[in-house]
Amino acid sequence: MPRLAVSVLLFSFVVVGRVEAGDTGFIDLFNGHNLDGWTQRNGTATYRVEGDTIVGKTSEGSPNSFLCTDKLYGDFELKFEVKLDSALNS
C-alpha cells in the first residue's frame, strides 16, 4: 500500500482550504503551524505538519483514515494543492 495514499483524502479536505468569513474575505482552515482544530478519525494513519504543509502517512492494514475539522462548515470554496507519492495506485 502506498505510504501517502491517505494524502489524497487529506488534501481533499484541507491543505489550503478556505471558508468565506463575512466581509473579511476568506479564512484559512489550516493555520500553517499545527493541527489545532483538526481530529484524525478512523484507521491508524498519522498526520503531522512539516513546514507549512500537512503530511499524512498510511499505516499498512489500516482502514481508511481521515483528518477532519472540529467544526462544521457550509457554503464554501475549497482551494488546495496536492503532492502524491509516485507509487500511489488509487
For residue 19, pLDDT over 60 is answered with no
Number of separate helices (H) and strands (E) present in the chain: 1, 6
The amino acid that residue 9 corresponds to is: L
7 pLDDT more than 90:
no
Residue 15 has pLDDT above 50, yes or no: no
Using the 8-state DSSP alphabet, how is residue 24 labeled? G
* Mean pLDDT, rounded, for 1-26: 51
Q: How far apart are CA 4 and CA 59, in angstroms?
A: 9
Q: In this predicted model, what pLDDT tens digit does every residue of 32-85 receive, in sequence order?
A: 999 999 999 999 999 999 998 999 998 889 999 999 999 998 888 888 888 888
Sequence ranges of the domains in the chain? 5-69
C-alpha cell, 44: 491508524
pTM (2 decimals)?
0.64
